[in-house]
Amino acid sequence: MKLKFLGLFSVLAVLFGLFTAQSAVKAAEITDYSNAATLYYDPEATNIEITSTTAEVVVQSGVYLKLVNNIEFPDSVTINEGDTLTITLPDEFALVTSSSFPITTADGSTVGTAQADAASKTVTVTFTDHFSKVPENKKMSFEITILTDRGNNTDGETTVSFGGVTFSYTYKNEEGEAGDYEMKYGYQAQEDAGIVKWRVVLNATQDMIRNMTISDVFGEGQTLVPGSLRAVRYETQPTKIRSEGHLLTLTPIDNFTDKAVFDYDNSGGITGFTIPFGDNYNWAMYIEYSTYLPDNTPAGAIVNNTLSWSASNFDTRSVEALVRLQTASGTASSEKSEQVVLRASKLLNGKELTDGEFTFELYSAEDLTTPIQTTTNAADGSVTFSAITYSTAGTYQYVIKEKNTSADHITYDSSEYRATVTVTDENGVKMGAVAYDAEPVFTNSYAETTTTESSSTTTSPTTTESSVTSTTSSSATTAASTTEETVTTDPTTAVSAATTETSSQPTTSVTTAEESETSQETSTDPAALSTSSDPSSPTSANNQAKTDKSSKKLPNTGEQAGIFLTGLGIVILAISALFFFRRKK
């Protein structure tokens, strides 16, 4: 029995998973955009822009470049929360370090978060819902510090295509001079922007140094990454060590890391070290280590470390290494054009108002001859013009009029109402406010018109014959009442005949009277006859309107109802299965 229940539960779990999966929303990769990139060499010094015509500019390895990506999205592209955009650097360039930084608007709203990954040379932006709420004229720009990739550049003229543009420059691989006695530099770790790696070359000239002591003091707030310190020496070479690269081609003959004595701060972090080495018999040395940066160190900050060494046969010497931290930042902007809807109201005295009965026109206040919009009233009297979209802040004025179509029995309202729309720009969103000079209400009147003409002649008849004929016909779509009366007078005979015909009409009720005598015939013009508006009359013009209002409508259907019924069906299926298993047991 337990196995049966377990099987039932498994089936229901699968069905429930399928049911809930319908509502899952998958993030999209945004690929429809344009990118106009710009590149600057040594931005903190020369800041030379690299273009397609700058082949003469020498770009040295190890010198920072600033890459700016100016991205625009078509209005047709919808960017939802969780959607991503990925920029991949060309092979010739490399990211300085992996880092994360926000993309924000001028007012500080976050549009997305950019993640720079040095290993894959990519910058991936994950968007918030900002662009989905403010979706027009979407733009994004971010700049990031990069380097030339030593492994993918060769000395000489180089051309790189990226971001819709071409960059031309002359590449030079610069290993860096080791100096005579000390050289030190640092750089941010590719894998972690919060770590700086430091490198030291000592005694590249391979001199004899007596009683050598080496000290390194870290910059403010920096602490040693545990296990990162390494100090080695190399066998004496026949020529001077040219550079770090030259030294690293050699094999160390001794590791003297364990001679280091550390300095500590109050929290137990290592803030420096001293190595009492002793006599250096013409050996070049290499020291490397890494330090943590203090929390909240800003991008673009300059951090430093100072190395010094002393000996009995040399004066104390020192070198300070400075590292400017990678900068990365992003901005974005977009707009939302405000839609303003102008409205009015319609009243009709004397009869019931029907949908679309009257026409209204919207004019620019600067041109009252040509309407910019035309609409009709709804059955409830509301008058609604189409939404007007504004992309520019300012003040816009309009005039609302009713069009006189000369309908029978209608007295029109000739009022004109002025509407003023004030549009302001609030961080890219156009906000519109509407003000009317008076409440725009148009009141028309309906009045019945009756015309009667009469003429009579009196004689003294000798003989009178009277006959009355009544005929009635009815249909589902017609209601009308017509009475015709003919009177004929003769010196010897008077004949009176009355005929009544009745038929149903849904929209017209007309009464016509005709009198005819031998001396004169009188009739009433049907165009001037009265129209009944009595809603209780079977011949009333409002019968059709009431029929329309009371007509049944199909129920709304859609995916939501379908999902609900599916869920309900699953529940019923579960209950039925449970009942079946219990009965079977």
| pLDDT tens track for 268-295 | 999 999 999 999 999 999 999 999 999 9
Asked if 293 and 225 touch (Cβ cutoff 8 Å), the reply is: no
Task: Say if CB 518 and CB 488 are below 8 A apart.
Answer: yes
Query: Structure tokens of 152?
Result: 């993918």
Element (H, E) at 444: strand 441-446
DSSP string, 317-363: EEEEEEEEPP-EEEEEEEEB-EEE--EEEEEEESS---TT-SEEEEE
Residue recorded with tokens 């991936």: 124
Confidence of residue 299 (pLDDT cuts 50, 70, 90): confident
Tokens of 474: 């009815």
Burial grade of 104 (CB within 10 A; 0-12, 13-18, 19 or more): middle
Q: What are phi and psi of 546, to 5 degrees?
A: -65, -35
Predicted local confidence at residue 387, as pLDDT: 92
419 burial level (CB within 10 Å; 0-12, 13-18, 19+): buried
User: In the predicted model, what is the mean pLDDT of residues 119-148?
Assistant: 95
The structure tokens listed for 271 are: 């803030």
Give tens-digit pLDDT for 61-92.
Answer: 999 999 999 999 999 999 999 999 999 999 99
pLDDT tens digits for range 470-507? 334 333 333 333 333 433 334 333 333 333 343 344 43
Q: How many CA atoms lie within 13 A of 583 on its CB side?
A: 6
Q: Which domains does the chain have, with CATH numbers?
A: 34-172 (2.60.40.1280), 182-325 (2.60.40.740), 336-446 (2.60.40.3050), 463-544 (no CATH)
pLDDT tens-digit map of 336-346:
888 899 999 99
Q: Lowest mean pLDDT: which of 204-208, 329-333, 416-420, 520-524? A: 520-524
Segment among 24-28, 270-274, 354-358 with least mean pLDDT? 24-28
Instruction: Name the token pair of 459.
Output: 């004689």
Total Cβ atoms within 10 A of residue 444: 20
pTM higher than 0.85 = no
Q: Taking the mean position of all CA atoms in its chain, how far away is CA 542? A: 49
Mean pLDDT of all residues belonging to the chain: 81
For 427-438, give the secondary structure using H, E and C. Answer: CCEEEEEEEECC
Least confident of 187-196, 240-249, 252-261, 575-584: 575-584
**Residues 304-312, mean pLDDT to the nearest whole number:** 97
The rounded percent of the chain whose pLDDT value lies above 70 is 73
Q: What pLDDT digit, counting tens, does each position of 27-55 carry?
A: 899 999 999 999 999 998 999 999 999 99
